[in-house]
Amino acid sequence: QVQLVESGGGLVQPGGSLRLSCAASGSIFSIYDMGWYRQAPGKQRELVARSGVITTYADSVKGRFTISRENYKNMVYLQMNSLKPEDTAVYYCNADIAAYTDYKRRDYWGQGTQVTVSS
């Protein structure tokens, strides 16, 4: 079984910073893309940033957020700077992983971590 566990969310004032972490664990053969998505109340889940062969950012976070990985630890991070109230959402870790069970690539999701930007 494969699990993704996020940490690092919380309440921050506008202009502040947070760093989200996501750890993948379990019977992992190989990890391909890893990324972050978010879902605000009443809105659809949207891509924030993704790291694989290429790195992609949502236009709304370019220049403020940075995705990084520590592959030997099966970790992905999201450094969020200059946070705005509109960044408030539940942030989800996502990873494309092949497990030892059958070596097939599947999408896995974390449980989500709340980020609230408010004064």
- Cα–Cα distance measured from residue 71 to residue 30, given in angstroms and rounded to the nearest whole number: 10
Phi and psi dihedrals of 63, rounded to 5? 85, -10
pLDDT in tens, 58-103: 999 999 999 999 999 999 999 999 999 999 999 999 999 999 999 9
Tell me what pLDDT residue 54 has.
Answer: 95
